């Protein structure tokens, strides 16, 4: 994989020019893209700044994020060839840092469940996950050092686990979702994919203009709770093995690790996620449903059909349940003495076949809670498929989440 920090260091030292760095990415795309299918389009002649902390760093932009220089098709024929007049603020921020938004990466249509044609770089017969399929796959294949994604259920954490890269779903609204096609305004969260935890921390610190996120390298004597989310169906054995391996690595690195069972209110909140998401998508995709229903893919069309019957009272009750659980999560971290939670990133390795994107059951609660989550690759199956874990900290403590993930990453490497 391409390391963002390595490229930056080579550019800063004069061993590589920004143009040369983009050239390396183009070579990697030419070599891997035909078999992976992670990209919608590539800018043939982008502006390449020579100054800025990310000068020469090529970035993939999920194709529900507005770009003025490239089409934004939402993964749907309804928007084929559509060109926004302006960049989304996160894209404008990347450009101000010197980065090059080089390619649009594939997304499931409107970031729901109907799969893309993108293949898992570790096994072409397996899904890369979704909905941020192209972003995860492109970083995993070494085609891009950084890519943007979004998460409403598990669309960053799960594909990062399936593809064996670091994925970061930051605290809710840490990065602006203006200029991003809305699915659920209470849940949609903008995040990123990178080759390593330090790469991801560096990128997030710059994007959010919060240097402390990357400076929080020393995790200290962390108190980590192992959470198995008993309100969900059990994971595959390889996910359980990866969780145990990550826990042992954390202990070797000096963390205090213990099993922790979430109170019942979190199971109730997990169940509330669907009502919030589906009620809101009924409104956010109202025009597409009213005028282009037959052009919508089958899973999304069926979800929108069902969403028409959700009553406002059920939505409001789900929001109250989520609010109470968020308040309760503060107590988990403060009164129950946890600095971080370690749990499954996905039920197991990427499933076989390209007709699905996998199950987000171990992600949805944490998206609803709005807390920072980091996918960390931990293991491989006998077939070579990656298996990851998920590190979670309290709202606004994104630096600690990355520091904890970095501590485990180093322990696994050593």
Predicted confidence at residue 215, as pLDDT, reads 86
80 token code pair: 């084929």
Residue 209 sits in the same domain as residue 240:
no
pLDDT along the chain (414 residues), means of 10: 98 98 98 98 98 98 98 98 98 98 98 98 98 99 98 98 98 98 98 98 98 80 96 97 98 96 97 98 98 98 98 98 97 94 98 98 98 98 97 97 97 95
3 state DSSP class of 14: coil
Q: Give the total residue count for the chain.
A: 414
Predicted confidence at residue 409, as pLDDT, reads 98
Does residue 197 belong to any structural domain of this protein? yes
* Active-site annotation holder among 62, 104, 169, 181: 62
Does residue 347 belong to any structural domain of this protein? yes
Does residue 300 belong to any structural domain of this protein? no
Distance of CA 190 to the CA centre of its chain: 8
3 state DSSP class of 261: coil
* Active-site annotation holder among 76, 95, 131, 184: 131
How many CB atoms sit inside 10 A of residue 66's CB? 22
Own/partner contacts of 247-250, CB < 8 Å, gap of 24 or more, are: 247/342, 249/408, 249/411, 249/412, 250/222, 250/224, 250/342, 250/404, 250/407, 250/408, 250/411
Q: What is the pTM of this model?
A: 0.98
Q: Are 121 and 150 in contact (CB under 8 A)?
A: no
**76 assigned to active site:** no
**131 assigned to active site:** yes
Does residue 353 belong to any structural domain of this protein? yes
CA-CA distances (angstroms) from residue 105 to 64, 111, 254?
9, 12, 39
Rounded-to-integer distance, Cα 377 and Cα 308, Å:
39
Residue 12 sits in the same domain as residue 67:
yes
Does residue 310 belong to any structural domain of this protein? no
* Active-site annotation holder among 132, 155, 171, 184: 155
Please count the structural domains in the chain.
2
Residue 66 sits in the same domain as residue 193:
yes
Residue 227 sits in the same domain as residue 346:
yes
Residue 144 sits in the same domain as residue 256:
no
Does residue 307 belong to any structural domain of this protein? no
271 token code pair: 């169940």
**155 assigned to active site:** yes
What CATH number does residue 167 fall under? Answer: 3.90.1300.10
Residue 203 sits in the same domain as residue 236:
no
Rounded-to-integer distance, Cα 236 and Cα 233, Å:
10
Instruction: Kindly report, residue by residue over 165-212, the tens digit of the pLDDT.
Output: 999 999 999 999 999 999 999 999 999 999 999 999 999 999 999 999
Domain that holds residue 234: 223-265+318-413
Convert 179-191 to b/e letters by CB count within 10 Å (16 or more is b). Answer: bbbbbbebbbbbb
């Amino acid at each position: 994989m391409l390391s963002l920090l390595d490229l930056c260091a080579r550019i800063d030292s004069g061993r590589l020019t920004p143009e040369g760095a983009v050239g390396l990415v183009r070579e990697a795309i030419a070599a891997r893209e035909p078999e992976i299918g992670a990209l919608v389009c590539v800018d043939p002649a982008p502006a390449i700044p020579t100054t800025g902390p990310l000068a020469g760093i090529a970035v993939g932009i999920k194709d529900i994020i507005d770009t003025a220089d490239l089409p934004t098709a939402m993964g749907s024929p309804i928007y084929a060839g559509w060109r926004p007049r302006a960049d989304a603020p996160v894209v404008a921020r990347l450009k101000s840092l010197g980065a090059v938004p080089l390619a649009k990466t594939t997304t499931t249509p409107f970031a729901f469940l109907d799969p893309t044609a993108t293949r898992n770089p570790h096994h072409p017969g397996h899904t890369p996950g979704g909905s941020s399929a192209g972003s995860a796959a492109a970083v995993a294949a070494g085609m891009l050092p950084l890519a943007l994604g979004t998460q409403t259920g598990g669309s960053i954490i799960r594909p990062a686990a399936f593809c064996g890269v670091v994925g970061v779903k930051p605290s809710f609204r840490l990065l602006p979702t203006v200029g991003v096609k809305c699915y659920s305004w209470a849940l949609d969260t903008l995040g990123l994919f990178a080759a390593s935890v330090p790469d991801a921390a560096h990128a997030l610190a710059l994007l959010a203009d919060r240097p402390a996120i990357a400076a929080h390298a020393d995790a200290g004597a962390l108190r980590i709770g192992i959470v198995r989310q008993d309100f969900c169906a059990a994971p595959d054995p390889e996910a359980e093995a990866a969780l145990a391996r990550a826990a042992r690595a954390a202990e070797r690195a000096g963390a205090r690790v213990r099993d922790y069972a979430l109170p019942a209110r979190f199971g109730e909140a997990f169940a509330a996620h669907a009502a919030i998401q589906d009620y809101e998508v009924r409104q956010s995709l109202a025009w597409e449903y009213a005028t282009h229903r037959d052009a919508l893919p089958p899973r999304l069309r069926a979800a929108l059909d069902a969403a028409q019957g959700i009553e406002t009272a059920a939505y409001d009750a789900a929001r109250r349940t989520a609010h109470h659980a968020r308040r309760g999560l503060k107590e988990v971290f403060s009164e129950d003495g946890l600095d971080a939670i370690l749990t499954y990133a996905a039920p197991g390795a990427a499933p076989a076949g390209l007709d699905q994107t996998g199950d987000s059951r171990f992600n949805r609660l944490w998206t609803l809670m709005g807390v920072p989550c980091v996918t960390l690759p931990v293991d491989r199956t006998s077939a070579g498929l990656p298996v990851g874990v998920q590190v979670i900290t309290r709202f606004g403590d994104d630096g600690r989440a990355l520091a904890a993930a970095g501590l485990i990453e180093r322990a696994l490497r050593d």
